[in-house]
Chain A
Amino acid sequence: MNETIQSIPLNYYIVLSSALFCIGILGVLVKRNAIIMFMSIELMLNAVNLLLVAFSAYSQNPAGQTFVFFIMIIAAVEVAVGLAILVMIFRNVHSIDIEKLQNLKW
């Protein structure tokens, strides 16, 4: 398994993960639909997972792969709480467009 991962140089993994991470950042900053913002945050976390697995395989250190499980849990927790918050807002405002939420000035 390690040989398969290592047949691609480490730098490629770093570039790919950074690119995915930046796409996620752009999604959060540009999109105005809360669900798409959640998905962008998920994309950022999954980019991190990919990079962690690559680092872990290259350095023969299982700590990185263990941490991937923690990140998955964190992602699940954040989505659960985030969707609950969205449902609460949808009940009051009848929209999930964050442009509609301008009562507190940014």
Chain B
Amino acid sequence: MTALIILSLLGILVLMMGLFHLKNKVLILIIPVLIAGIFLNANEYGLNASYFSQMVHFDNFAISFSSLLILTTTLIFGLCLQQYKTSKKPVEDIYALIIFSLVGAICMVSFNNLIMFILGLEIMSVPLYVLAGSNRENVLSNEASLKYFLMGAFASAIVIFGMTLIFGATNSFQLDEIRNAVSGTKMPGVLQVGILLFIGGSLFKAAAVPFHFWAPDVYQGSPTVITAFMATVVKTAAFAGLFRFMMVAFQDISGLWVNILVIITIATLFLANFSALSQTDFKRLMAYSGISHAGYMLIAILVLNMNAADALFFYSVSYSLATIVAFGIFLTMKNATGEYSLEIFKGLSRKNPFLAFGLVIAFLSLAGIPPLAGFFGKYFIFTSAIKGGFLTVVIIAIINTMIGAYYYLKVLNMAFTKDVYHSAPVKNHLLLDAVIVFAAIGTLILGFFPGLLQGFI
């Protein structure tokens, strides 16, 4: 809760600092405050406090996930300097919007009332519609912004309709009251439709299959750091929010929704991995990779117990760290060559072995090769699913892991070829390298000591 207040104030302050044309100097304020926010947030671990007449509830689940969200945002601010270094326009408003979006994400993982969930969803999404189009002169960025806005508003309306039907069937917005009312409801049909609409709308933000079509376009058109923010913070928040809602309210009536979720999971895994095979643009590849990871995270929502919550947290951490390393390296390469295709990685190992090593760690972790964090993320999710009786889904997921390894290794293969794509030198940048080193070391440590994050929730 302290972190929520501090971040809201920080966002307003940064917006005001636009008056003084400080540009990237505001990062000197933002990054320490965000780091302090992580510690203040972690300080509330175990308190289990509720605020605003039980509208938000900071239990261990909320504290763990909101710490992860703040950490991820801090790392993304580390990339921002590189993206906006040469910007002639003010950047304070962009930074303030990122912080506001983070505040919405924290509301989404700590809600205890559906009103708070929808407010968090909107506080997170509305700044993102603007951020996707923050490169105003670029038509691609404009187009990404409009597509994201139209589809996002559409999905929000569907979520709200689902919530209304749930309210009609259970007569409450409070999660624990909904749980007590679901079994005795007079309108089971209305409840079922409500749950399915709610799941559908939430999966839109997380980019799972029937609602994934916006992701490649929006990821490609948005500025790179905003893409990184969407791929990590938004996805984590959407999954944590959905998991929390299903776990608290609908665990007892899983028969109503579990079959449809199994179909969505399998479709997500296959479609994302097969589409990713033929991509040539890095951001589109990361979009499809993100969709396939959404498929693995959906397995945790199928299982829906404390074990799965732990696994989902570990998976989110490993996915966020590896994705940030990948986007950081891509940002350096893009600034050196000015292009977006996968070809720019050709010969990276000769030009800049440091970045090539980071790329190896990131992509092997995303592919799930031991002993990196991504492997244990998948391992924990699969074991909890087998214990929960979803053996078929796990077998399909393992097949998809093998398909996924192909396109990750294809990029690594390019990085280690002899022919160099572009002769321009690839320079290192202190802050960006610090982010890459931090995230890569985190991935390695979690790979060697996966027990560190177990039992947090």
Residues on A lying within 8 angstroms of B by beta carbon are 14, 21, 24-25, 28, 34, 37-38, 41, 44-45, 47-48, 51-52, 55, 59, 61, 63-64, 66-67, 70-71, 74, 77-78, 81-82, 84-86, 88-89, 92-93, 98, 101, 103-106
Contact = CB atoms under 8 A, between A and B. Distances in A.
Interface in B187-231: 190, 213, 216-217, 220-221
Given A14-B190, A67-B173, A55 B157 contact: no
17 contacts: A25-B154, A28-B154, A44-B161, A45-B157, A51-B161, A51-B164, A55-B168, A59-B171, A78-B126, A88-B133, A89-B143, A89-B146, A98-B146, A98-B150, A103-B140, A104-B140, A104-B221
B447 to A, nearest CB: 36
Interface stretch (B85-93, B115-123, B238-246): B115-123
B150 A37 contact: yes
Contacts of B168: 14, 51, 55, 59
B122 A85 contact: no
Interface in B32-52: none
Contacts of A28: 150, 154
Interface residues of B, number: 40
Contacts of B164: 48, 51-52, 55, 64
B160 A88 contact: no
Contact of A81 (B118, B129, B216): B129
B143 A104 contact: yes
Given A81-B149, A101-B146, A24 B157 contact: yes
A88 B168 CA distance: 40
B125 to A, nearest CB: 9
Contacts of B156: 74, 78
A8 B23 CA distance: 60
A93 B173 contact: no
- 10 tightest A-B contacts by CB? A44-B157, A104-B217, A55-B168, A101-B143, A59-B171, A89-B142, A41-B153, A78-B153, A48-B160, A48-B161
B145 interface: yes
Contacts of B133: 85, 88
Interface of B: 115, 118-119, 122, 126, 129-130, 133, 136-137, 139-140, 142-147, 149-150, 153-154, 156-158, 160-161, 164-165, 167-168, 171-173, 190, 213, 216-217, 220-221
A37 B165 CA distance: 24
A82 B147 CA distance: 11
A28 B160 CA distance: 16
A89 B146 CA distance: 8
A103 B143 contact: yes
A106 B144 CA distance: 10
Given A85-B133, A89-B146, A21 B139 contact: no
A90 to B, nearest CB: 10
Nearest to B151: A28
Which among A38, A51, A85, A98 has the highest number of chain B CB atoms within 10 Å?
A85
Nearest to A66: B115
A63 B190 contact: no
B144 A104 contact: yes
Given A52-B164, A52-B167, A55-B164, A70 B150 contact: no
Given A63-B173, A104-B147, 4 more contacts: A71-B160, A81-B149, A84-B130, A104-B140
Nearest to B144: A104
Which among B142, B153, B216 has the highest number of chain A CB atoms within 10 Å?
B153
A89 to B, nearest CB: 5
A63 B154 CA distance: 24
